[in-house]
Each structure stands twice: as C-alpha cells, then as structure tokens.
Structure 1
Amino acid sequence: MEAEIERRAAWMWRNLRRHWTKHLMALAALAGVVGFFEIAEEVGESETRQVDETILLAMRETGDPQDPIGPPGLTEAARDITSLGGGTLLTCVTFVACGMTLLAGNRRLAALGVVSVCLGTVAMKLLKIGYDRPRPDLVEHGALVTSPSFPSGHSMMSALVYLSLGILVSRIQPRRRVRAFVMAVSIGVTLAVGLSRVFLGVHWPTDVLAGWALGGAWAMLVWIAAGLMEGGRVASEI
C-alpha cells in the first residue's frame, strides 16, 4: 500500500510539473510577443532614440564615432561572430540539427524544425518591410547591410534557430548534462550574435532587443509544440 501511494504521488508531481512548465512557457512566449510590440511602439514614436545613440556611441572611441572600442582584432572577432547569424550558416545549422533529429527516428520533430525556421524567416522579412526603420547613421557600418533595420534579422533568427533547434536536439539526448550544455550554447550564441550587430554599428540596440524578444517567443512556442507532439511531455528536458 505504501509503495502504491508513493507511486501515485510521484505520478501526480510529474503531471503538475509538466503542466506548470507548459503554462510558464506559454506566458514567456506571450511576454516576448508583447515586449516586441511595446518596443516597436516606442521606436515608432522615437522614444528610444537617446538610449539607442548612447549605447551605440559607448561602443566607439571617445571623440571618434567611426572607430570601435578595443583592438582591431576585436572588430574582426565581431564580424566572425555576426556571421553565425547569417542566412547561409543558419540554413546549414538547420539542416544539420534537423538531420540529427531525423536520424534519431523523430520525423515529426525534424519537420517542426524546418517549418518553424521557414515561417520565421518569412515573418522577419515582412516585419522589416513593414517597419522600414533606417539603419544607424551615427557610425560607420562594420558589415554589409542591405535591408531595413527593425527588427534585427540576425538577432531574431539566431534566437529562433539556435534556441528552437537546441530544444529539438536536447530532446533526443538521454543525458541531462548534455541537454543543459546544448541549451547553454544555443543561448550564448544568440546573445553573442545580437551584441555583435550593435558593436559593428549595423543595428540600433532596440533592433536587437526586439529581435531577441520575438525570436525567443517563437522558440518557446516550438518547445510547446514539440512537447505536444510527444504526448504532452513538455517539461523535464533539461
């Protein structure tokens, strides 16, 4: 009898944790979407101009806004990091991660990854066209840019791709430490790419913040969808 009570208590705790985690992820996704539109509204009313300029100029040598702070090698490193958020590399990462998921025998998760990235790319391009914010004009651009500034495509797609695919890859890993490492790397790369865009002077800080917010929200929705595909198992991946 005692063993049966313990078994039922453990089952109830697992289900409670699962549902609470799902709700928290849904709230996080909602917060990301709301945060994006709040930033967009502030940007549209030019309320963020002073903060954007202050942060951007803080990454430049005093008295010379065309010269990034730090040694020349730091600028080269920023260019290397920012390439991690470029379309070519993100496409390769998507195919590798989804290929791993497919080879692990989960075709539905692999398909989810591809569909998520494709839809996210379309959404990002439409948002850029819709907001049509000019690129920063205070400093020299350290990388080639051809599209509008808001939201930061590199930041949004890095968050969407690395976090979403990190979630998918972590779900096929049996060891908790490996899952935690995969997610930590995904978050680290996402943050590094966004910061590199500001350092190179090709984005306002609010462009990057908005990209992170929406890309992160998208990743949370992918996490929820992946859990539903696996019979509601949303929590306990990490």
Structure 2
Amino acid sequence: MSGKRWFTSAFAAGLLCMVGFVLIAYWISDHQIHVFDDKVIGWVQGMESPGLTVVMKSFSWIGSGIPVAVITLAAIVILYFVLRHRSELVFLAALAISSSLINSIIKAIFRRDRPTLHRIAEANGFSFPSGHAMATIALYGGLAFLLWKHAPKLIGRILIILISLVFIIGIGISRIYLGVHYPSDVLGGYLLTGALLAIFIWYYQGYLERRGKKRP
C-alpha cells in the first residue's frame, strides 16, 4: 500500500473510531445505552455453561495485566534483539503505554460502576472503558499491523488478522460473559484504542517515508 493510501486509510479509520467512541460516551453519560447493554448481556450470558465459563475465564486471563505485560515485553525483546526493528519496538511500547494512561484518565472522568448482576468473576475499579478491551487492541492490533507489514504472502496476512481477531473478540466477549463489564464498556474500549492505533499507524508510516527519503 502506498504512503498516501496509508495516510488516508489511517485517518479515516481513526476518525470513525473516535466519532463512535464520542457517541457511546455521550449515550452513557445521558443514560441512553442501557437497552443495548441489557440485550447484549442477556444474549451473551444466556449461553452460559461450565465448559464455556472455562474458555471465557481463559480469554479474560490472557487479556489481564500480567499476561499482556509479558507478551508485550516478549514482543519488544524480539523486535529489538532478534529482528533489530528498533522503530517498531518504540511503536509497540508507546502504543501500550498510551493506551493504559488514557484508560486510567477516561475511567476517572466517567467513574462508571461495574455491573452487579450475575457476576461470575470479580473485578475492581471503574467500568468504562474496558481496560481489557483497550489493552487487547493495543497489543494484538499493534502486533497484527507490524507482522502484516512483514508477511510476504496473502495467506500469511489473512492468518495474522484472523488470529488477532480471535483474541480481540474473545477477550471482549469474556468480560461481558463474566459480568464485569457492560457491552458499551468493551465497545468503547475498542473504538478508543482503535482511534489511537490509527493515529500511531499514521505517524509511523509518515516517519518511515521521511526516513526513506533521507537515505541515499
């Protein structure tokens, strides 16, 4: 994909995600989104079974703080010491840190309480936006972008996208299934970090183009 197409695509995706997040935030603050939340919660938790609970707890654990930190650190070590992709290391680390900081700020602003009905797991802190959803987009979305750039064949790129989507969607649904987040928390987290990821991609592609032009 050419540089101009990258810029246009990243800008459009970021703008759409940000508009979506602003709408969800407004509906939450105006108490207009409970019908959507209740319907999705009823559908997701209606599938409850012992086996599915184990799967959902596993997805939720993968998206929690320690596993995300370990996977991010492992990716950074590989990028720096094995592949020598220092700029990609900075991209992934800055994305993860920015996502975490923004999540803390937005939660402190909205101070939305977590759901209280049918809790299968326990969680602390405020609910909106979902920290798991934001960390998942930052980690697996960021890795998917970096790996996609180096995948030589279409089938490899498709597999990268599919695997990333499995983790992203699975972790998001798990938080609803376990009763620790509203669907709007998860969707808001996806959209907010999706906008952040688009901004990072836009800036990173611009950096690569500028660096390429400086080379003889």
Is the pair's TM-score, using the shorter chain for normalization, greater than 0.5?
A: yes
2:12 is equivalent to residue 34 of structure 1 = no
Which residue does 1:104 correspond to in 2? 83
CA change 1:220–1:187 in 2 (3 A) is: farther
User: Structure 1, residues 168-201: CA drift from partner, whole Å, max 9, x if none?
Assistant: 2333444443233223211221111111111111
Provide Cα deviations, 1:111-158, integer angstroms capped at 9, x if missing partner.
Answer: 121111112111111111111101112x22222200101011111110
Segments of structure 2 that go 5 or more residues without pairing to the other structure are 212-216
Return the letter of the residue paired with 2:30: E
153, 163, 169: which one pairs with 1:191? Answer: 169
Q: Which has the larger radius of gyration?
A: 1
Establish whether residue 122 from structure 1 lines up as the match of residue 101 from structure 2.
yes
Aligned partners of 1:178 and 1:101: how far apart in 2?
A: 19
Correspondence 1:60-209 to 2 at 5 A: 60-61=45-46, 69-102=47-80, 103-137=82-116, 139-209=117-187
Specify which of 44, 48, 57 is matched with residue 59 of structure 1.
44
> Cα RMSD over matched residues?
1.9
Match of 2:30 among 45, 52, 71: 45
Which SS does the other structure have where 2:209 is aligned? coil
Shift of 1:206: 0.7
Instruction: Give the AA of the match of 2:103.
Output: M
Aligned partner of 1:7 in structure 2 is none
Q: Is the 8 A contact 1:55 1:205 kept in 2?
A: yes
**Matched residue of 1:59: which SS?**
helix
1:232 Cα offset (Å): 6.1
1:212 paired with 2:190, answer yes
Paired AA for residue 14 in structure 2: A
Q: 2 CA distance for matches of 1:124 and 1:165? A: 20
Structure 1 residues without counterparts, runs of 5 or longer = 1-13, 62-68, 234-238
Bigger mean CA offset, 126-135 vs 177-186? 177-186
1:152–1:207 Cα contact (<8 Å) kept: yes
1:66 corresponding residue in structure 2: none
Q: CA deviation at 1:18?
A: 3.4
Asked if 1 retains the 8 angstrom alpha-carbon contact of 2:3 and 2:209, the reply is no
Q: 1:24 — aligned with what?
A: 9
CA distance in 1, matches of 2:43, 2:86: 47
Identity %: 24
Structure number with higher relative contact order (C-alpha < 8 Å, ≥ 6 residues apart): 2
Q: TM (normalized to structure 2)?
A: 0.89
Residue 133 of structure 1: SS of its match in structure 2? coil
Q: Deviations over 1:213-233 (max 9, x none)?
A: 112122222222332232269
Higher-helix-fraction structure = 2
Please give the per-residue CA displacement for 1:97-119, whole angstroms capped at 9, x wherever unaligned: 22222221221111121111112
- Residue 64 (structure 1) aligns with: none
Pairs aligned (count)? 210
Rounded Cα–Cα distance in structure 2 between residues aligned with 1:60 and 1:87: 24
Go from structure 1 to structure 2 and tell me whether the alpha carbon gap of 1:159 and 1:98 turns closer, same or farther (over 3 Å shift).
same
Q: Does the 8 Å CA contact 2:3/2:206 hold for their aligned counterparts?
A: no
With normalisation by structure 1, the TM-score equals 0.81
